[in-house]
């Protein structure tokens, strides 16, 4: 499991590299981090002038964006009986059916087909228990 390295360790890695006490590979071995981590740290400092952890960039990026949500809402208003697969095909999304389900659920929308008849009530048909026989 990967862990975010501390700001202090990041500073020490860069200080070691900057003082020309070694190469990127030697700095990685000295501080027991990967060579890729040293390279990314140097690149991050060069590009952004900061070396802190970038948690906002981690994680999987959503496939279904806000514009897709609005399109889904409009589509389901026009055709409320569409299935998840039909929604995916109509919108040309490259995602799983559960992904669409979760988005619809988050939006408070349902995709289940409903009968147009009112729900029947369960009513007792007899007041007495029927006799056996």
Residues 6+ apart with CB under 8 A from 54: 44
pLDDT in tens, 63-76: 899 999 999 999 99
Q: Which domain holds residue 39?
A: 7-57
pLDDT in tens, 78-90: 998 889 999 999 9
Most confident of 19-28, 110-119, 124-133: 19-28
User: For residues 133 and 131, what is the distance between their CA atoms, to the nearest angstrom?
Assistant: 6
3-state class percentages of the chain: helix first, strand second, coil last, to nearest 5: 50, 0, 50
Q: How confident is the model at residue 99, as a pLDDT?
A: 92
User: For residues 23 and 29, what is the distance between their CA atoms, to the nearest angstrom?
Assistant: 10
**Domain assignment present for 70:** yes
Same domain membership, residue 52 and residue 15: yes
Query: Cα 38–42–46 angle (5° rounding)?
Result: 170
pTM exceeding the 0.75 threshold for the entire prediction = no
**Domain assignment present for 127:** no
């Amino acid at each position: 499991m990967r862990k975010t390295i501390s700001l202090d360790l990041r500073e020490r890695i860069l200080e070691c590299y900057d003082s020309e006490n070694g190469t990127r590979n030697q700095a990685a071995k000295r501080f027991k981090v990967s060579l890729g981590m040293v390279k990314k740290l140097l690149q991050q400092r060069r590009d952004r002038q900061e070396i802190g952890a970038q948690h906002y960039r981690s994680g999987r990026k959503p496939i279904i964006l806000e514009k897709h949500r609005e399109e889904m809402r409009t589509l389901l208003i026009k055709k409320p009986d569409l299935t998840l697969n039909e929604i995916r095909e109509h919108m040309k999304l490259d995602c799983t059916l559960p992904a669409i389900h979760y988005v619809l659920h988050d939006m408070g929308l349902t995709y289940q087909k409903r009968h147009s008849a009112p729900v029947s009530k369960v009513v007792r048909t007899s007041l007495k228990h029927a006799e056996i026989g």
